[in-house]
Chains A and B, each alone.
Chain A
């Protein structure tokens, strides 16, 4: 958060069906648990039909507008959507991207267009800090490939003012009870992967 008064903006981007709305709900509930004011908004009319999806969560001492095109953090659940989401970032922002997840849109499947893979180069050229990880592999390691978004949240957690209890509360509000432990593990694996990535740099 830039100042105590200003809201912190997280935008989540991905493909319809990837669980973007639920991931946004986890962040929103974690913020509530942290005692912060929260607003979120999403465009979900096409969310089940494989279109691009964008959801935004803003939290802080007081949040007014439910949307902003200047995100402090963008979480991308898919590589191409990560590239598409770059312009959503404020200067100095960070992107967390499931860079090994590639879902080919129709035009690529039909070989009308190439699937672009240069997220790292494009982010570097714009001074964007990129945390890229193989979220699916870590999710499988946690025990369920469908916890990939929790891996991404873990990777982003160092940037967010939530303690472990806040995350637990956010997850408990949003995921099926029997998957809570797996999701917590996925979150931890995502955080550790990022820490070790940072340590290497």
Chain B
């Protein structure tokens, strides 16, 4: 047991639990309502245990990427969520893992990575502590079952306080090892209803760069917290030898050297520099004991502090107390290493932004020119329709992400490729109702939407998935994909039918042409009301890829009262005048403005009509 005393444990009896069982019980005690993951040794028993407990929904996802996306959806809905996987599973989930670091969470989101030093049942060894550092998020490392139980609650609190996902990292001996756990009192939670925030949850470059800046600030705030966290403790010893350690390696080292000083890091990223420096004031010899990578060691060395590290401790396989004792015995009596100057990275002192060569102080504030959906883009009709339903709309990555910008403001989120469907499923599952829909392009659906739809079907998620099938990978310049069968050299291969693919999953599928706006509206209205999961495939080629037949729009000035319905579709081919609107030269005649007009002020003229037929 450690000196960590973050929570009061009531008068309950200790129970023997594996670390995984303790995490599941600890999550429920901390108010978590949603657990998902993909099975993988040594992480599997967490979701299995959660499934037996009341008050928490537990589900297997089709893979770890979909699990994280589902978890983000559930956390946004306001439910504390735990997502579990083994170390290599996090490789599969890296895309949403990196993106949610920037977007942040609503209710707490804890991602559990169970690493497998020694490769008892894995294809590789990897130290996922590196990935917490990579993603600029906090890392908690329990050493035994009690800490597993306690740290999950601390992880949820950190997640909500700092608006960040938290990586809870165990290893085989923590997850599968058993120990006594004194249960704690249930944590009282305040409701955290979802609030729409496009600037936070839609990761277009302009938003993501601000969120990235925020993540860097957050990292330093977290470091300050790690300095004072009760999870990071200095345990006094009686000999002039100190050990810095985390996770199960603490147990090995403590058993090997009970008289040594210890800096036990339960909250190990970002590294609390001052705490490390304080520890170096206690002893003249310091060893770092950690399994796998020199994760702490390299950061401590970078401060200029001498360490007995990986030249003594193996960087592969598991440790145990004998291995640690054998490895470090020579260091106990060694001449203490010389200490040079120590450099703690201070706050950033960036050079001031260079003054422009020209004086630009008095330049007027210029109208911005963000990218927009093209005039005649078939996506515009879908967003115009979805806006009216006032559903939470989980978006995805492609041209259609532009639907999040003014004046459409039709998307709530865009996290990473293929995230829309998992987030929709998690959001709806967490709330127990059909509150969110998903919007995804055809190429993105083939990229990684298929697995998420498979998952939503398997888990009987509610929702409507709108697939914008414009027959190309539009945003990057009209590349082919499996739905078109087109290869980079423009040769044709087999084309996969989205509708039949979805039908094969047993999902209800409807198709529509956005040019028939009334039918599209009716279909969306019906599907949003209907129970269960359905797909609407909106079929209309990208106008850059296959320009439609030219039609023209006539403005009947007397009928126009400038109500703004046609302006709200955000088309760059319509402009308001003083008492009517004007159709500009870049109009291709898609007719959406006429469809949304309810005063017959916009009249379409087709090719036949113009030819006098």
Contacts and interface: CB of A to CB of B under 8 A. Distances in A.
A70 B574 contact: no
Contacts of A46: 371
A135 interface: no
Contacts of A48: 374, 477, 544
A80 interface: yes
Interface in B228-252: none
Interface string A108-142: 11110111101000100111100000000000000
Interface in A18-36: none
9 cross-chain pairs, A with B, having the tightest CB-CB distances, nearest first? A49-B371, A51-B371, A46-B371, A105-B369, A113-B367, A109-B575, A87-B360, A87-B356, A91-B357
A144 interface: no
A7 to B, nearest CB: 16
Nearest to A92: B357
Interface stretch (B218-226, B399-407, B422-430): B399-407
Interface string B541-573: 000100000000000000000000001001010
Contacts of B544: 48
Contact of A84 (B356, B366, B371, B567): B366
B367 A51 contact: no
B362 interface: yes
B338 interface: no
Interface of B: 205, 354, 356-360, 362-364, 366-374, 399, 402, 406-407, 475, 477, 544, 567, 570, 572, 574-576
A80 B358 contact: no
A106 B363 contact: no
Nearest to A118: B364
Contacts of A87: 356, 358, 360, 363
B358 A128 contact: yes
A81 B226 CA distance: 47
B407 A111 contact: no
A104 interface: yes
A111 B567 CA distance: 11
Given A49-B373, A49-B399, A49-B402, A107 B358 contact: no
Interface string A83-109: 110110111010000000000111111
B372 A49 contact: yes
A111 B363 CA distance: 20
A62 B475 CA distance: 35
Given A49-B373, A83-B363, A115-B367, 10 more contacts: A15-B369, A49-B402, A51-B370, A51-B371, A51-B372, A69-B356, A87-B363, A110-B576, A116-B367, A128-B358
Identify the interface centre among B363, B369, B572, B574: most chain A CB within 10 Å of its CB. B369
B474 to A, nearest CB: 9
B205 to A, nearest CB: 8
A15 to B, nearest CB: 7
Nearest to A112: B367
Interface in A61-87: 69-70, 80-81, 83-84, 86-87
B356 A110 contact: no
A69 B358 CA distance: 11
B371 A16 contact: yes
